[in-house]
A and B are shown apart, each in its own frame.
Chain A
Amino acid sequence: MALPMIREILAQVFKIPATNPFPARFLPPSVTEFLKKVGAGEATINPPVATPPRFRGKIVYDRDGCIGCNLCIRVCPAHAIEFIPETKRVRIYVTQCIFCSQCNDICPKGVLTMSPEFLLGTEDRFAESQIVE
């Protein structure tokens, strides 16, 4: 009976885990309680794996440089961008966004960029953090 895996398993005992323990190094009794403590400054979060240089995270919008040309709306695959006629500016719904960064490519003024921020989970679709304008 050939079991070449045995050597591999024995070597594995002396290796550190390949995964990054997140958000805490050891599983807390309640993750929600732990995150509340982090919010209050009583505990620290174990940092996530660093994002690569070209990572596409939450969109950043420079409102003052925008000329309201609507080109970003034409290429957004997810219809995540809405034009506000009163102010001639756009509103971006992060919950809709698929992070393709196509709007960054087409923007003639370069006012749209992608930040490395990726911890965006929330229960409210229309929370302040989920709307960029």
Chain B
Amino acid sequence: MSDGTPTKKAPYVVPIGPIHPALKEPVQFLFEMEGEVVKKADFAPGQTHRGIEWMGMHRNPVQIVHLTDRICGICGVTHSLAFARAVEQIVDIEVPARADYIRVIIAELERIQSHLLWAGVAAHELGFDTLFYLAWRVREESMDVIEYITGNRINYGLVQVGGVRRDIVPDQHPTIKKCLDGYRDLLGKMLNLFLNDTTISIRCKDTGLLTFEKALELSCVGPTARASGVVKDVRVDYPYSAYGDLDISPILPSAYGGGINGDVYDRIVVRLLEVAQSVEIIETCLKEMPDGPILWESKLPKLLSACKKAHGEAVGRHEAPRGECLHYVAMDGHEAPAMWKVKASSYSNLHSWIPMLEGEQLADVPIIVASIDPCLSCTDRVAVLRGVKRDLMTKEDLHRLSVEKTRRIQGC
């Protein structure tokens, strides 16, 4: 096989997952190998389906908004914001301007912590654990500020249909500003540690290539798409909340001075530069936050009855740290929504694994898989297979087979 001549032997298939130390989340990969090189890659998600949408169909929107917090462990505000925006459109709720600014601030803080978490995971997948610890230590500062604003570290419980539940008072500004200044000073160091390091350069440059055409064709979203040069960002393309008042543009890897290759290295560049962008956004929002109420209706029973009367369907979108997240909600005058569908951002990005992985070496699989920042627990939904036969042997089936074999042997 070493001389490159094609062999007639069946390809060697390496299965990785669903539970595997190299993968942070449960997904199964099947690689057809030729030596060390991946010839054909395939994957099977669907290992962590939790039926959260079904749970939502038996609850009212005010309950679901806190259920959505639990869809993802990292994106604590992404799903609740997208869901709340969908319900607000159906019920025709106008969110107060101050609440919009607070939503943006918390969404950007979330982007900071998520990207730093990813940077740590990426360093870990490369075997560079020192950098992993450093990234996770500096991430804690943003987690502390989130905890300071919302009360909890991960499940913030901040977003409510029609606004936010907690205000940011002027007394809190110094603590938030201190954290932001810390990140501004830190960014130069992080860029230096990640991008000028030989270990990272040799492993990440020209690894896991996703071309501009492929990224467009597969409808990739978020930093994965932007690293391939696709100018795409919901915050800019379809501004919502306070993003319309802000002067932001999607970050491409060329902003760092280099070209656009669409490799793992470019994905690191995009994410680190987005941390800097988020710091600027939070600073502007804190400065320009208008006064006023933070909730459309502070009396929850009134909000509940308004939701109960509503008819219609809507789509709520939000640019999560991983890309566009979409919630479809339909309501028909009952307490619970008639339909609720979640499209997490990773759903759009998973298929980019196949062009990225094919032609790469097995040793590059962990970093390439991690490079799109997959979040499978949010992605997994019910998959209906049509026209595909799937063999699933239950205990009863096996028992029946066993009995049949005994009878066959005995000849009766």
Contacts and interface: CB of A to CB of B under 8 A. Distances in A.
B193 A5 contact: yes
A21 to B, nearest CB: 16
B196 interface: yes
Interface in B53-84: 59-60, 62-64, 66-67, 69-70
| SS of B interface (majority) | helix
A1 B197 CA distance: 8
B140 A98 contact: no
A18 B63 CA distance: 37
A89 interface: no
A4 B197 CA distance: 6
A2 to B, nearest CB: 5
B127 interface: no
Contacts of B152: 55-56, 99
B327 to A, nearest CB: 16
Interface residues of A, number: 25
Interface in B249-281: none
Interface in A3-17: 3-5, 8-9
Given A98-B70, A105-B165, A76 B63 contact: yes
How many of chain B's residues touch chain A, expressed as a range?
Answer: 35 or more
A3 B300 contact: no
A4 B193 contact: yes
B334 interface: no
B70 A75 contact: no
A100 interface: yes
Given A18-B137, A56-B152, A4 B63 contact: no
B148 interface: yes
B401 interface: no
Contacts of A8: 130, 134, 189, 193
A41 interface: no
B196 A4 contact: yes
B231 interface: no
Contacts of B155: 98-100
Interface centre among B60, B69, B152, B165 (most CB of A within 10 A): B152
B223 interface: no
Given A8-B134, A77-B64, A18 B197 contact: no
> Which of B62, B198, B304 lies at the interface centre, i.e. has the most chain A CB atoms within 10 A of its CB?
B62
Contacts of B300: 71, 75, 102, 105-106
A1 B198 CA distance: 6
Interface in B135-181: 137, 140, 147-152, 155, 157, 165-166
Nearest to B68: A77
Contact of B151 (A54, A74, A102): A54
Given A8-B130, A18-B137, A105-B165, A55 B67 contact: no
A130 interface: no
A74 B304 contact: yes
A3 B165 contact: no
B192 A4 contact: yes
A76 B66 CA distance: 9
A85 interface: no
B196 to A, nearest CB: 5
B298 to A, nearest CB: 8
Contacts of B354: none
A3 to B, nearest CB: 6
B130 A9 contact: yes
B411 interface: no
B140 A54 contact: no
B176 to A, nearest CB: 13
Nearest to B137: A18
A24 B65 CA distance: 38
A102 B196 contact: no
B131 A5 contact: yes
Contacts of B193: 4-5, 8
Given A4-B193, A98-B70, A75 B130 contact: no
Nearest to A102: B66
B157 A101 contact: yes
A5 B53 CA distance: 45
Interface string B354-367: 00000000000000
Given A54-B149, A75-B62, 13 more contacts: A3-B199, A5-B193, A8-B193, A18-B137, A54-B151, A56-B157, A74-B60, A75-B304, A77-B64, A77-B66, A98-B70, A99-B155, A100-B157
12 contacts: A8-B189, A8-B193, A54-B148, A54-B149, A77-B59, A99-B152, A99-B155, A99-B157, A100-B157, A102-B62, A102-B300, A105-B165
Interface of B: 59-60, 62-64, 66-67, 69-70, 128, 130-131, 134, 137, 140, 147-152, 155, 157, 165-166, 189, 192-193, 196-199, 300-301, 304
